[in-house]
Amino acid sequence: MKLNTTYFGEIDIEDSEIINFDDGMPGFEHLSKFIIIREEELVIDYLQCIEEDITFPIINPFLINKEYEFKIPDNTIKKLDIEKQEDVLIYTIVIIPENIKEMRTNLQGPIVINTKSKKGKQLILDERYPLRYMIFEKVGE
């Protein structure tokens, strides 16, 4: 299938690449089909919707916060058909403002993806982690 995107132009995608978010994403509940576009040279990847031209920059939060941890709720494990930890990818959405030094990510809203079942869900954690985790302030700590 061909997909026209604002940021990546026309891209070819396979059905096997599509990740289903049955509940959508908070604020975008009507959108349920996404693909991950990987940037090999960067630590930021992209979650591209295939139903509308909406793209979320995403990052592996463990690369920027070594103490980041949370338990995936049992109901999410069941909903995403998670059997093995190695089948799970965790991302958080990144905000990239004009001043790159103000780049931040939302550690309260991790995205959990089962790479085997191709199912995903964004969780909302308690307030232990900030909504606006400033990436460049924390690099090197």
Q: What are the backbone dihedrals phi and psi of residue 96, each rounded to the nearest 5 degrees, phi first?
A: -115, 95
**By three-state DSSP, how is residue 63 classified?**
helix
pTM: 0.90
Q: What is the mean pLDDT of residues 6-17?
A: 94
The pLDDT of residue 141: 45
Give 19's strand partners. 34
What is d(CA 15, CA 61) in angstroms, rounded to the nearest whole number? Answer: 27
Give 2's strand partners. 12
Q: Are 62 and 68 in contact (CB under 8 A)?
A: yes
What is d(CA 10, CA 63) in angstroms, rounded to the nearest whole number? Answer: 30
Percent of the chain with pLDDT over 70: 96
2-138 CATH pick, 2.30.290.10, 2.40.160.20, 1.25.40.80, 1.10.3720.10: 2.30.290.10
Tens-digit pLDDT profile for residues 101-112: 899 999 999 999
Q: Are strands 111-114 and 9-12 parallel, antiparallel or unpaired?
A: unpaired
Tens-digit pLDDT profile for residues 69-96: 999 999 999 999 999 999 999 999 999 9
Question: Is the pLDDT confidence value at 123 over 60?
Answer: yes
